[in-house]
Chains A and B, each alone.
Chain A
Amino acid sequence: MKLGSNFWSTVKKKYSIYMILVGLFIVCSLANPNFLSVNNLTNISRQLSVTTILALGATLLIISGMLDLSSGSVLALAGVFAVSTYKATGSLLLALSVGILTGIVCNVINAIMVSTFKAPPFIATLAMLTVARGVALLYTKGQNILQLGKFTELGQGSIGVIPIPIIFLIAIAILTWYLLNHTRFGRSLYAVGGNEEAAIASGINVHKVKYTAFIINGIFVGIAGVLFMSRVNAGLPNGAINYEFTALTAAIIGGTSFSGGIGTVGGTLAGAFIVGFLDNIMNLNNVDSYMQQIVRGTIIALAVIYDIRSRNRRAKATLVKAEDLGADKK
């Protein structure tokens, strides 16, 4: 009997986010017949790919006790650089490389500020948010770059029935999962976020971990920038505003802890899709856009409260278990 209730509480804790996602999916398909249309679903998935890729980068950073507010701006900068590279050379590969490189450079600067100069990540990446957007606008003189030709294939094309952005997303999600679960870097990331001083005292090179986390985030942001510009068929220096918040929202809803040391790829994916489905169903049902903001904020608040409450409960339950064991020593 006790085992049963334990089993269910574990299932509930571990999979509740996925059950919410499935539940939301069912509610959405009932609420609007267009939700399930192939057209709508491919549309959502293309849009979602960009923010979800950002959210995966954000997850890595939040796990290690940092965060990136600059991802939306850097995405735009990487995007416009990639677009103009494509227009100059006609090479998709070169364009993608330039986008990724831009993401890396901006994030190395973030890492220098945060890791080497010990600036709080919030402030450091806030500075980058402003600067990167400024550079993007300066470079394009505030004009959108149009007529991208075949560049749009990355964002709009499909391989078979699967949209190309989704393929990128799947690859990045698998990579992130692999990094977190199967590499020393991943294990160190959790340790650094959980207790940086203890990580240092255990021989972990914290600088290396933080730089690596930012660089990987940079690669993700760069790719997201190329996909975004390609999908909207323009180099928009003013594009992707506030995407960093969507990414953070997805990570938080997915159970990534802002105090560091906790977070999973599955959680973030589910969180990103929950946010995406909600946005989509509200759009389909013509919910006022101001109202949408309120709904979204409320959900963040609820997710955080739920997370804290369940963590407390879990901590108490295991504590008692451990005391039990401590007491029966012979």
Chain B
Amino acid sequence: MKENFKLRVSQIEKSFPGVKALDKIDFAVKKGSVHVLCGENGAGKSTLMKIINGIYQPDSGQIYMDEKPVKINNPIQARTLGISMIFQEMSYVPEMTVEENLFLGNLPVKRFGNVNWKEVRRRTKELLLAENLPYSPTTPLKDLTISDIQMLEIIKAISYKSDIIIMDEPTSAITLKEVEKLFVKIRELKARGVSIIYISHKLDEVFQIADDITVLRDGTVVESHPKEELDIETVIALMVGRKLTTTFPKEHVAIGEDMLQVENLNCTNVFHNINFHVKKGEILGFAGLMGAGRTEVMRALFGLDPKTSGVVKIKGKEVTIKNVRQSIDHGMVMLSEDRRRYGIIPMRSVKENTTLSNLKSVFYAYRNHKKVEKKLVSEILNKMRIKTPNIDTPIASLSGGNQQKVVLAKWMIRNPDILILDEPTRGIDVGAKLEIYKLMTDLAKEGKVVIIVSSELPEVIGMCDRIYVMAKGTITGEINRGDFSQELIMRYATGTLTTKGVN
């Protein structure tokens, strides 16, 4: 025995019909350390974690805990062994209260099998107090923000007194401030001797929190090192198997005249006095903290939500947009932040999802032109390098990055003048991200307009020509590319600084 490994897997193999998902994986986590797992979508991270959590059984290989061989048949058994997992895609019952959620599946019972609600209440209060969270045990989850719920999930994992906590993309839906809170929590856990397996696409975070980093690619471990021996560029190169020279494919593009002008857009209690404009060839960023109203402004602009007042001009002409159809007809389209909710029709094919917003181009002269549709879809899939077994595959079975690209393809075949992207790269892998950035650049070169709403500051700073910052439902600042800095954006976003007369 060389080191003090809490968990070690040896020569794990797992095949699904027709594909080897994991090939002779060796992977070990030290006690009281944070071990980050990196890799593109489809590299095998989730499969490996599902094996450790007992959801899948390996075909061969062995799992050791404290160097003793164990067999993990299901997640409940994993929990008794001290392993718990926080999933990337949270599923929760909105009507359920904080305390019910915390003890779901683990409710303390009295002698006759009836739930000991007093005990539940007492322990919930204890946990909330210990973590310094301001909500009551009886608050329904629907009244909490996504990041609150994520914190709850983490508390829940802690409440099981787990020795190993697996976190799958825990920061994909929370704000910077909460990320810091989470990291404080993780360090506390580490100090208590808990081991953490942390999966993330956000490499800057990875380097803040990791002790060790393991990179997976195509179902094998590429390399595994202590953090000190690696840097971001190297990790990216290991992940994709090639060296990425620039992370952001930003190019200089000639800026034309105004494409979109928004004047005094209001929606009672949601946002107010929104004034902005964007010129042909510009990539415009909207930065701000979660809940600042950025998504709401874009949804109202796109006709998804109502607005109270305001003027919208496209190419200098005032337009009325009361529903999505009108917006599309004016050449303005929007990729929503929640792909599963607003983006995909999960059980329908890639083909149908792609042509959904452009049915007139494939249904005309009283019939569906199958050949035309097939050609249209295949072309855009090729152009955007979307990986799918064929165009009749249900979209739900593609990887997250490819799903996102199909939703984007749906808008690209409309050849829009104005493309609004709301958190377009959340939870997708580096390769797919890069392709989305490239697409943004291409559109700008064609004299189109891209508006990107993003909580990832490096992304807006890397890609945009201009950034508007929002706080508390209004625009607090406008920054030109020359003046971009994370600090300046954060000062506007937190409302500590406001520009007067932002146009």
Contacts and interface: CB of A to CB of B under 8 A. Distances in A.
B363 to A, nearest CB: 5
A190 B401 CA distance: 24
Interface in A121-157: none
Interface string B355-366: 111011001001
A217 to B, nearest CB: 21
A89 interface: no
A188 interface: yes
A181 interface: yes
A319 interface: yes
A255 interface: no
Interface in A196-230: 197-205
Interface stretch (B28-36, B137-145, B345-353): B345-353
A328 B218 contact: yes
Contacts of A194: 345-348
B17 A317 contact: yes
Given A181-B368, A184-B363, A261-B347, A202 B410 contact: yes
B19 A324 contact: yes
Interface stretch (B58-66, B269-277, B390-398): B390-398
Interface in B197-254: 218-219, 241
Nearest to B327: A203
Contact of A191 (B356, B394, B396): B356
A325 B218 CA distance: 10
B18 A190 contact: no
B343 A327 contact: no
Nearest to A196: B345
For B41, B334, B398, the residue with the greatest tally of chain A CB atoms inside 10 Å of its CB is B398
Contacts of B396: 315
Nearest to B359: A184
A220 B264 CA distance: 50
Contacts, number: 128
A191 B431 contact: no
Interface string B380-400: 000000011100011011110
B368 A326 contact: no
A315 B345 contact: no
B155 interface: no
A181 B352 CA distance: 11
Contact of B397 (A190, A203, A319, A330): A319
A201 B17 CA distance: 36
Interface residues of A, number: 39
Nearest to A318: B397
Nearest to A205: B325
Interface string A165-199: 00000000000000001111001101100110111
Nearest to B329: A203
A187 B19 contact: no
A194 B344 CA distance: 9
Given A322-B393, A324-B18, A187 B343 contact: no
A182 B359 CA distance: 11
A322 B399 contact: yes
A75 interface: no
A41 to B, nearest CB: 34
Contacts of A320: 16-19, 21
Given A322-B402, A323-B399, A324-B18, A187 B218 contact: no
Contacts of A323: 16, 19, 21, 42, 399
A2 interface: yes
Contacts of A329: 40, 387, 431
B343 A198 contact: yes
B43 interface: yes
Contacts of A195: 341, 344-346
A327 B18 CA distance: 13
B367 interface: yes
Contacts of A187: 352, 355-356, 359, 363, 368
A200 B304 contact: yes
Contacts of A118: none
Interface string A1-30: 010000000000000000000000000000
B489 interface: no
Nearest to B348: A194
Contacts of B359: 184, 187-188
B325 A203 contact: yes
B439 to A, nearest CB: 17
The list of the 8 closest CB pairs from A to B, nearest first, reads: A326-B42, A194-B345, A320-B16, A324-B19, A318-B397, A203-B324, A184-B359, A325-B387
17 contacts: A187-B368, A188-B359, A191-B352, A194-B345, A195-B344, A198-B344, A202-B356, A318-B393, A322-B388, A322-B393, A323-B399, A325-B388, A326-B398, A326-B399, A327-B44, A327-B219, A329-B40
Given A191-B356, A325-B388, 7 more contacts: A187-B359, A195-B346, A200-B304, A203-B325, A203-B328, A323-B16, A323-B42
